[in-house]
Chains A and B, each alone.
Chain A
């Protein structure tokens, strides 16, 4: 079983729509959780960390459900510039291993 699993999509949504991505992780002792964004032919960059209490950054909301072992990312009022691949990242409880999901592709359509 993979450490991190994501729906690869693609998600094609109109501008202004709300879209949500989910990600599940297999290790119940996982320590930290992140969403990274990767633009085409670019390196991944941190979008936001995911805290147990949930956190919001502008149009982006991330939530963690430890009981069900999943994290989510909600994007409201989608912009064309949100088009990218969104990577779910989970860290192990030991060492410095970061586990990446396969990514969810989002295309926002005018």
Chain B
């Protein structure tokens, strides 16, 4: 299995500020995924973070709002920029393990970062 450490676990932020969430995996993985789970909703994929290339964003999510870094095969960050109350959500980092076998692995999640924007 893959063990994922995500921080911060929670934060309360002011409107207009930015927050960076960190995700550390105990194994090297090809892709890391960032999801958002709004209250009472299911998980929505924000983007896929690829090491050595730009992240791939899903429809409705843009790099200026959610810049992502992927400096190596075990680490990624997601920044929520210029926050508004609508960004209040749980943000989850995820990897597929075993890595590299498309759609056959299990998704492992970090414990999530619960963000509240005032």
Contacts and interface: CB of A to CB of B under 8 A. Distances in A.
A44 B96 contact: no
A92 B96 CA distance: 14
A44 B109 contact: yes
Interface stretch (A62-70, A76-84, A100-108): A100-108
Contacts of A95: 102
Given A43-B92, A43-B109, A100 B42 contact: yes
Interface residues of B, number: 19
Instruction: Find the residue from A87, A92, A96, A100 having the highest chain B CB count within 10 A.
Output: A96
Interface string A24-52: 00000001101010000011111001000
B109 A96 contact: no
Contacts, number: 45
Instruction: Give the interface SS of chain A, mostly helix, strand, loop or mixed.
Output: loop
Given A43-B110, A45-B109, A96 B102 contact: yes
A18 B110 CA distance: 31
Nearest to B93: A43
B107 A46 contact: yes
B13 interface: no
Instruction: Give the interface SS of chain B, mostly helix, strand, loop or mixed.
Output: strand
A101 B42 contact: yes
Interface in B53-84: none
Instruction: Find the residue from B92, B102, B106 having the highest chain A CB count within 10 A.
Output: B102
Nearest to A102: B42
Interface string B10-39: 000000000000000000000101000000
B94 to A, nearest CB: 8
Closest 8 CB pairs of A and B: A43-B109, A91-B103, A102-B42, A100-B43, A100-B42, A46-B106, A32-B103, A31-B103
28 contacts: A31-B103, A32-B104, A34-B106, A36-B107, A42-B112, A43-B111, A43-B112, A44-B43, A44-B107, A45-B109, A46-B107, A49-B106, A87-B42, A87-B43, A91-B103, A92-B103, A96-B31, A96-B33, A96-B48, A96-B102, A96-B103, A98-B33, A98-B103, A100-B42, A100-B43, A100-B44, A102-B41, A103-B42
